[in-house]
Structure 1
Amino acid sequence: MSAWLLPESVADVLPSEARRIEELRRSLLDRFRVYGYELVMPPMLEYTESLLGNADASLNLQTFKLLDQASGRMLGLRADTTPQVARIDAHILNRKGVTRLCYCGPVLHTQALGLHNTREPLQCGAELYGCGGIEADLEILNLAVDTLNLSGLKGYRLALSHAGLLAAVVDGEGLTDNLIRHLHDCLAQKDRPALEALLVEVSAACKANVLALLSLYGSVGGSNCVLNRAAETLPRNPKVGAVLNELRTLIARLQETVSAMPALILDLADLASFDYHSGLIFSAYVEGCPNAVLRGGRYDDVGAVYGRARPATGFSVDLRELVSLQAVHSKPKTAIRAPWVYDTELMAVIRELRSQGEVVLQSLPNTAQEEEEFVCDRQLVQANAVWKVVPIGMNQEKLK
């Protein structure tokens, strides 16, 4: 086997992409900061009892596990940072009021989640704890929209749903949690044959109501509004009504508060994880990408396993994926070319330029210059015993 071969779905990040990722990371963390979110940096590995305390089966399968030689206990390499941030809020910070936290770091997956996805996403996200009201959902949605706008994505769609809808639809039918969990998975995958197989022994009305969720997809307004169709199609019980009213109110408030509003759609079959989300669910999609580029929602009580249940809502993105989808790339930074000369005055000028944020590249002797990330449009030259910055190609006579 070649010494340079990397594992499947694992790749090096080369200079141009690395620069764009870092620029986006700084931009997003700065935006999170002005919203009042505090940066945390959880460890890459933890004991599996802590890391997977609230994990569903899919997250458990996505987690690399290894034996700790120091303690003999099982360790896990994080596949998702959100549970770690929930642990920090519940167990370490232990604040009484609202807590806003953000993070950015790599996660590892045992399998790539999509055809072109990496197994080492660079996950960036924000979480809000301690508020169970619609106000927290609106703040997180506003920040999610800001995140996608700062990423330079164009024409993306924001899809909304609610994790409590299926339970409301089948309320009173006597379905087990295990069956509802499987129905969640099949609805998320839009797998009608699998749904019909699971619903063989339920009432005809219940089967029709569950299958109807597959068709409740589309616009949030107009004559074909999904919420209006849902109100006509789904059971008219108080729980279904409460979920639909919550979505209706949220959409109205979102349209009032977001300045650069993306296209909004409803996908009432996108119910995400049965064991994880507890309310609003949202995802963002962009043309040319089969997977969601942003996922988020409400996950109340996830902190219970760490000793303190709290209302919580948040979202995350993969910076590597966002950068790969950017239509317009930032240009390489302009730089100054300087000779390699043992001259104290030249070194002093270079230090001063670098302190001002200028990129100064010194031409090492007997080497070719092949930098791709910098465009040298100026050079340092000596004229009349003084080092000056001048445009490259400037007539030498003008320097005298």
Structure 2
Amino acid sequence: MATRSRTPANDGDSNAAAGLLPAGLRDVLPPRAEWEAQASERLIASFTAQGYARVKPPLIEFEETLLAGSGQDLAGQMFRVMDPVSQRMMGLRTDITLQVARIAASRMKDAVRPLRLAYAGQVLRVRGTQLRPERQFAQVGVELIGADALAADVEVAVLAAEAVASLGVAGLSLDITQPLLAPAIIAAHGLDPKQAKAARRALDRKDAAELKAAGGAAAPTLLKLLALAGPAKTALEGLKKLKLPDAAAKIVGDLDKLVAEVSAAAPDLLVTLDPGEFRGFEYHTGIAFTLFARNVRGELGRGGRYVTPAGETATGFTLYLDSVMRALPPQAAPAMVYLPFGTPRSTAVKLRKDGHATWAALDQESTDMKKAAKAAGCSHWWDGKTVQPL
């Protein structure tokens, strides 16, 4: 049954365009705000059903705790304010992962490992990106702390994909990379620091010509990494044929096991591999993942293995709710039943129990109930006996 929204479809972008809000910030109006809240709770429900307990860190905390360890990578993205109580600098969080790691190392340091934690909340950054111009957006994710087995990577990657699929997102693909593979090859070929930096820059840009010129003895192997990006099984077949140093060969062996286990656990998930990719995964210490959806611009989320500031091995995955919402199929606004002035409250209660939302007139309205219901943005009206569609 067709329904309509009671409010304009504008989600707040015009406010930013008109200068009412800073660039990258926006109001989210009904019904989108409700849809986002429901999607967030459904994702959390998927995580808690798999044993992940929810935590809720504060939006703002002392700067030094947010910048601990790999938090330095986002130092330039942090809004800072002076705490008038303690006279110490505070920061608005740019990412929730490190807050969860802080909780694990302090408030939950005595909890049994592995520690499974889930979270949902807003983050704020100084600048947006080309793919995500929003400076404030919601993150929903999980952290598996205190486990260094390959099974932890498999669990987190599959959980993220299954949770997003449960919302109705189709055409999911998981892109796997290993940020330590290229450095292991570079180190084994003895490139000096300047050469190594140039080779990494060329890989970052995926510039084959620059890589050939700057990669020295490692160039032939590194060029093959660029060429092997694609379906995971095909990429792995190519990697196994390369003459790799021992450290790199072990990394490829772990990738092979991961792909096999992920594919067995989620056979409908398209798994790809980019063996030369490390951009954006600088602080990761093992296998990393990015989740995409067919026909949707940008990533839905990313994660992988890292070491917490307390020295614990962890694997996590963060979903970006704005991107997830863009990947969802079109949704209809909820049916809203217009109740004329004077309708008994018991009627409204019954209708809501039957699954209807109600919009009650608070003053005497026109006798043309259909016209009044349409003006209120409702999709149905109550004729005194039954619910009637407009």
What is the TM-score with the length of structure 2 in the denominator? 0.84
Whether 1:100 aligns to 2:107 is no
| Deviation, structure 1 residue 362 | 0.8
Cα distance between partner residues in 2 of 1:227 and 1:393:
57
Structure 2, unpaired ranges of 5+ = 1-15, 366-371
Distance apart, 1:131 and its partner CA: 1.3
Is structure 2 residue 248 aligned with structure 1 residue 240?
yes
Distance 2:198 2:113 in 1: 36
Conserved 8 A contact 2:379-2:389: no
**Structure 2 matches for 1:226-305, cutoff 5 A?**
226-233=235-242, 235-259=243-267, 261-273=268-280, 275-299=282-306, 301-304=307-310
Match of 2:87, SS state, is coil
Matched, 1:168 2:184: yes
Give SS of 1:340's match.
Answer: coil
Query: Residue 362 of structure 1 corresponds to which residue in structure 2?
Result: 360
- Which letter does structure 2 place at the counterpart of 1:390? T
**Cα distance in 1, alignment partners of residues 251 and 274 from structure 2:** 13
Alignment match, 1:141? 157
- 8 Å contact kept, 1:181–1:274: no
Rounded Cα–Cα distance in structure 2 between residues aligned with 1:81 and 1:393 = 45
Question: Which amino acid in the other structure matches residue 213 of structure 1?
Answer: L
2:11 corresponding residue in structure 1: none
1:77-226 map, 5 Å: 77-94=92-109, 95-174=111-190, 184=200, 187-192=203-208, 195=211, 199=214, 204-221=216-233, 225-226=234-235
Question: What one-letter code is carried by the residue in structure 1 that aligns with 2:264?
Answer: E
Distance in 1, Cα, partners of 2:376 & 2:196: 57
1:265, distance to aligned residue in structure 2 (A): 1.0
- Which amino acid in structure 1 is aligned with residue 387 of structure 2? P
1:11-22 to 2 correspondences below 5 Å: 11-22=26-37
**Residues 314 and 183 from structure 1, CA distance in 2 versus in 1: closer, same or farther, beyond 3 angstroms?**
farther
- Partner SS for 1:126: strand
Opposite residue 255 of structure 2, the aligned amino acid is: L
**CA RMSD of superposed structures (Å):** 2.9
- Give the whole-Å Cα distance in 2 for the aligned partners of 1:150 and 1:184: 38
AA of the residue aligned to 2:48: R
**Contact 2:212–2:220 (CA under 8 A) maintained in structure 1:** no
Q: 1:180 to 1:27 in 2, by over 3 A?
A: farther
Query: Relative to structure 2, which stretch is displaced further, 130-139 or 330-339?
Result: 330-339
- The answer on 1:31 being equivalent to 2:46 is yes
Q: Which deviations, in whole Å up to 9, do the C-alpha atoms of 1:116-174 show, x marking residues without a partner?
A: 53111111111111211111111111111112212322223211111221232123445
1:180/1:75 CA distance change after superposition, 3 Å:
farther
Q: Residue 267 and residue 286 in structure 1: after superposition, are their counterparts in 2 closer, same or farther (change >3 A)?
A: same
Structure 2 counterpart SS, 1:29: helix
Structure 1 residues 155 and 354, CA, compared in 2 at 3 Å: closer, same or farther? closer
Structure 1: gaps of 5 or more residues = 382-388, 395-400
**Greater radius of gyration (CA):** 1
Contact 1:80 1:107 in 2 (8 A): yes
Q: Alignment partner of 2:153: what SS?
A: helix
Label 1:267 to 1:99 Cα distance change in 2 as closer, same or farther (>3 A): same
| Structure 1 residue corresponding to 2:83, chosen from 68, 88, 109 | 68
Structure 1 residue 193 displacement after superposition: 6.1
- Structure 1 residues 348 and 180, CA, compared in 2 at 3 Å: closer, same or farther? farther
Contact 1:151 1:323 in 2 (8 A): no
Letter in 1 for 2:220: A
Distance 1:185 1:18, change over 3 A: farther
1:379 partnered with 2:385: no
**Normalised by the size of structure 1, how large is the TM-score?**
0.82
Residues matched between the structures, number:
367
Q: 1:183 to 1:122 in 2, by over 3 A?
A: farther
Report the CA distance shift for 1:393/1:228 in structure 2 as closer, same or farther (over 3 A). Answer: closer
Q: 2:62 aligns to what? A: 47
- In structure 2, the residue matched to 1:331 is 332
Q: CA-to-partner distance for each residue in 1:340-378, whole Å, 9 max, x for gaps?
A: 22x7xx123434544665422212326755455x532x5
What letter is aligned with 1:212? K
Task: Give the Cα–Cα distance (whole angstroms) in 2 for the partners of residues 316 and 248 of structure 1.
Answer: 24
Listed one character per residue, the Cα deviations across residues 276-297 of structure 1 (whole Å, up to 9, x for unaligned) are 1011111122344442222111
Aligned to 1:171, what secondary structure does the other structure show?
Answer: helix
Distance 2:70 2:199 in 1: 18
